[in-house]
Structure 1
Amino acid sequence: MATDIKDTAHAVDAAAVMRLLPVRPRLLALGEPTHGEDALLDLRNELFRQLVEQEGYRTIAIESDCMRGLVVDDYVTSGTGTLDEAMEHGFSHGWGTSAANRELVRWMRAHNVRADNEGRPASERLRFAGFDGPLEITDAASPRQALTALHGYLAARVDADPLPCTARTLDRLLGTDDRWTDPAAMTDPARSVGRSAEAGRLRLLADDLVALLDEQTPHLITATSWDDWDRACLYGRTATGLLRYHHWMADTSPARMTRLVGARDRMMAHNLLAVAARGPALVHANNSHLQRAKSTMRMWEGPVEWWSAGALVSARLGAEYAFVATALGTIRHQGVNTPPPDTLEGLLYALPEDRCVIDVPGLATALGNPRPAPRVSPWFGYAPLDPAHLAGIDGIVFVKDVPRS
C-alpha cells in the first residue's frame, strides 16, 4: 500500500494540479483545514502566481468580507489608496495582519503596474474579491452600507418615479448601526432586530431595488460600465443576504443555526458565481466552505449540517468547478502533533516529501475499503480531512509540517 500511495504524490505546482482535472476550471477552489497559518497562505500565493503566468487566471477570491474586498480590488487595479490602507480596511476576520496576505496584495499591484510603470489593459489586470458576507462568528454587519450604496447607484441613473423609496426613508428604517451589530443577538434571538417591522419593510424595499437594477440593466451598463453595474449587483446581493441573515438571527425555532450557516454559504455561493462570470479564478477558504459533501459543525445549540458554497457552486458549474483540499500533518505550536499512522494524514505523513499534490482517484484505489479512520483533532481550530469525502475531492495538497507563522 505504501508504494502505491507514493505513486500518487507529485511536486506542488499549478501544472500538477491542472493535470488532475478534466478541463481548466472556471473556479479552482483551494481549501485549507485551518486559518491563520502563513505557510499555507504562502503556498496559495505561489500557486496563484503560477496560475496567472501559466494558465491565464486573473482573479483570486478569499474567505473575507465582500464589501471590504472592494477596497483591495480598487488598490490592486487602479492604485486607489495605499498598501497599508488596503490591508487595514480591505479584509475581515483579522486577515489584514497576515504577512502572506500583504505580499499577495503587493504582488498583484506590482503585476498590474508592470515594469514600465504603465498600467495593464483592463482585460489583463489581476482582480481581488472577498466572497464572504460582512459576517463574523459573533455578529453580522448592518445592511446600511450595501443598501444605501445600491440606492445611490440607482438614484443617480434612473428616474425617481420607479424608485421604491428615498434615501431618507432607508435611513429612518435602518436606525443606528449598533441595533444590527449587537453580539448578544447571536446567542439570544430576542436581542436581534431581524424580525422587527422596520427590518421587514427593508427586506421588501431591498427586493424592489434589486428588481429595478435587473430591469434597468440595458440602460445601466450603457450609462456607466459593466464593472459599475456588477458592483451594484454585489450591493444588492449583500443587502438582501444580510437582511435574510438578520431575520434568521431573530428566529427561536430549532432550525435557527442551520438556516444561519446555510444563509451565509448561499451568500458565498452567489458571490463566487459572480466571480466566475469574469473568467477563471482561484478561490481560497476553509475546506468546509468549498467541499462538495455536506458540511457539519457542532455549535452551542447542537450539531448543524448544510450545503457549502462549494457544493452549491459545483451543482451549477459542474466540471468548471474544481475542489482541491489541503491536508496537513502537524501544527505543533497548536498542539497538533504527528498524526496516527492508521489515519489518512498519517499515511500521507509517511511520504518523503515535505509537501505534495495527491492524485485522489489513485489514492482511493490504494487505500481500498474500508477507508482509514478519521483523525481526531486535539485543537478546535483545525479540521482533519474526512476520508469519507474523497469521492468529492479532485486533488489534495498535503503539507507535512506547518511552522509557526
Structure 2
Amino acid sequence: MVADEKIMDLFPGRPRVLALGEPTHGADLLLEARNDLFRQLVEQEGYRTIAMESDCLLGLIVDDYVTSGTGTLDKVMARGFSHEWGAFGGNRELVRWMRAHNDGRPAAEQVRFAGIDGPLEITGAASPRPAITALHGYLAARLDPDLLPCTAETLDRLIGDDDRWPNEAAMMDPSRSIGRTPEAGELRLLADDLMALLDAQAPQLADERASLYARTAVGLLRYHYWMADTSPGRLPRLLGQRSLMIAANLLAVAERGPVLVNAHNSHLQRNRSSIRLGGLPYEWWSAGAIAHGRLGPEYAFVSSALGTWREHGVDAPPPDTIEGLLYALPEERYLVDPGKLGAAPRTARVSPWFGYAPLDPEHLADAILFVRDATR
C-alpha cells in the first residue's frame, strides 16, 4: 500500500476530480501503485469513474465491458485502448478489477471507465468518420429529417478515404494535411451545425455519448484544420487543441460525479506544459490547468515520480533533487505532502532518457506519489 500520508487528509474535502499524473508510461510498479490507490478511493471514498489518457471513443468499449461484461478481457484490452496502453499489465489488471468489482452491483454503484484523450497523437489525428457519423445517426433516428443539415451520404462523400486523414508526415509538413481542403472545411461547418442541433434539442435528447461524439467530431476537424496551417503558431495551436479536448472530456465526465483520472503529469499539472519539437521549444496550457480553471479547489493534482528505471538509464537521483530526497527514505512507496518537505531541494533533476520527465521543483502538486524503483 501507499505509505506515509493518507491522501484524503491532504484536501479540504473530496475533490470532484482527483488527477494522478505519471512521469512516464508503462512502469510496472507505478501502475501497481496507481491501481492500489484507485481501488482504495473507489471502495472507501465513493469515486465512481476512472478515466485514462486514452482515445475517448475507444474507451466506450472498455466502459461497456466493465459495466455489463460486453466482450472479453482480451478483446477489450486489444481494441479499447489507444497508444498501445492495452499491452501494459497494470492496465489489464485495473480493467479486470473494475469488471469484478461491478459484477452483480446495481448501475448506481458501479465504477465506470472513460478515455479522455482525443483520437489523435501529436504525430497525427484520426478520420472524423466514427464521431461525426455516430452523431448524425443518433440525431437522424430521433428528429425530423428536415432539421438535419445534411444526409449521411453527404458526410460519406466529404470524408472520402479514411486513410487520407491520419498522415504522420503532416506533423512537420503542413502541405501533407487535408485539413484545409474544401471538403474538410464543409465537414467542419456541418459538425458545428450537428453539435448545435444536439444542444438545441437537449431537453429531449440529452445523451452523454451523443455529446461525446459531437465534441470529438468538432475537435478533430479543428485539429486537422490547424495541422494544415503554415503560421508560426501552428504547433502551439495543435498542442493546445489536444489539451482542450482532454479537458473538455474530463469536465464532461466529472458532471456525472467524482472522477479519478490518470495521465501524464504534463497533461494534468496546473501550470503550462512544454516540449521541444524540431529543436524548438513550445509551451501551452495543460488540460489540468484548463480543468482547474473551471473547477477551482474541486480539482486536485497528485504527481508521480520514480527513483530509478535502470533499463532506461534512469539511475539513482542526485541527493540535491526532490527525487533524491525521497529516494533516501527506506520505503518503496510514499505519498508525500510537499508542504511537509521543509526546505526541499530546488534543483531540477535531469533525465538521461527522453521518456521520463522529472519533477519540476518550482511547480509541485498537492501531493507526490513516489515509487523508489520502476520494476522489482
Q: Is the Cα contact below 8 Å between 2:4 and 2:335 reproduced in 1?
A: no
For residues 232-311 of structure 1, the aligned pairs below 5 Å read 232-300=210-278, 302-311=280-289
| Partners of 2:297 and 2:370 in 1: CA distance | 23
For residues 318-333 of structure 1, the aligned pairs below 5 Å read 318-333=296-311
| Partners of 1:357 and 1:37 in 2: CA distance | 17
Which residue number in structure 1 is paired with residue 21 of structure 2? 31
TM-score (normalised: structure 2): 0.98
Q: Is the Cα contact below 8 Å between 1:330 and 1:338 reproduced in 2?
A: yes
Cα RMSD of the aligned pairs, angstroms, is: 1.3
CA deviation string 1:147-195 (max 9, x = no partner):
0000000000011111000000000000101110111111110000001
| Partners of 2:23 and 2:302 in 1: CA distance | 12
Q: Is the Cα contact below 8 Å between 2:20 and 2:302 reproduced in 1?
A: yes
| Partners of 1:216 and 1:80 in 2: CA distance | 30
Q: Is the Cα contact below 8 Å between 1:41 and 1:100 reproduced in 2?
A: yes
Which residue number in structure 2 is paired with residue 8 of structure 1? none
Aligned length: 376
Which residue number in structure 2 is paired with residue 312 of structure 1? 290
Which residue number in structure 1 is paired with residue 61 of structure 2? 71
Which residue number in structure 2 is paired with residue 401 of structure 1? 373
Which residue number in structure 2 is paired with residue 154 of structure 1? 139
Residue 14 of structure 1: how far off its partner (Å):
11
Distance 1:13 1:130, change over 3 A: farther
| Partners of 2:325 and 2:102 in 1: CA distance | 42
SS of the aligned residue for 1:389 comes to coil
Q: Is the Cα contact below 8 Å between 1:14 and 1:51 reproduced in 2?
A: no
Residue 366 (structure 1) aligned to one of 343, 349, 363: 343
Residue 385 (structure 1) aligned to one of 346, 349, 359: 359
Distance 1:261 1:127, change over 3 A: same
Which residue number in structure 1 is paired with residue 185 of structure 2? 200
Distance 1:146 1:13, change over 3 A: farther
Which residue number in structure 1 is paired with residue 124 of structure 2? 139
Residue 63 of structure 1: how far off its partner (Å):
0.4
SS of the aligned residue for 2:95 comes to helix
Residue 219 of structure 1: how far off its partner (Å):
1.4
Q: Is the Cα contact below 8 Å between 2:338 and 2:367 reproduced in 1?
A: yes
Residue 38 of structure 1: how far off its partner (Å):
2.1
Distance 1:13 1:129, change over 3 A: farther
Q: Is the Cα contact below 8 Å between 1:140 and 1:180 reproduced in 2?
A: yes
SS of the aligned residue for 1:366 comes to coil
Q: Is the Cα contact below 8 Å between 1:186 and 1:249 reproduced in 2?
A: yes
Structure 2 letter corresponding to 1:362: K
For residues 14-53 of structure 1, the aligned pairs below 5 Å read 16-53=6-43
Q: Does 1:209 align with 2:194?
A: yes
Residue 136 of structure 1: how far off its partner (Å):
2.1
Sequence identity percentage:
69
SS of the aligned residue for 2:307 comes to strand
Give ranges in structure 1 of 5+ residues lacking alignment: 1-10, 114-118, 222-228
Structure 2 letter corresponding to 1:402: A
Deviant stretches of 4+, over 2 Å: none
Give ranges in structure 2 of 5+ residues lacking alignment: none
Q: Is the Cα contact below 8 Å between 1:373 and 1:387 reproduced in 2?
A: yes
CA deviation string 1:128-162 (max 9, x = no partner):
01100001232110000000000000000011111
| Partners of 1:372 and 1:310 in 2: CA distance | 23
Q: Is the Cα contact below 8 Å between 1:293 and 1:307 reproduced in 2?
A: yes
Q: Is the Cα contact below 8 Å between 1:13 and 1:47 reproduced in 2?
A: no
| Partners of 2:255 and 2:329 in 1: CA distance | 39
CA deviation string 1:51-79 (max 9, x = no partner):
11100011100000001000000111111
Q: Is the Cα contact below 8 Å between 2:27 and 2:374 reproduced in 1?
A: yes
Structure 2 letter corresponding to 1:343: T
Residue 366 of structure 1: how far off its partner (Å):
2.9
Which residue number in structure 2 is paired with residue 3 of structure 1? none
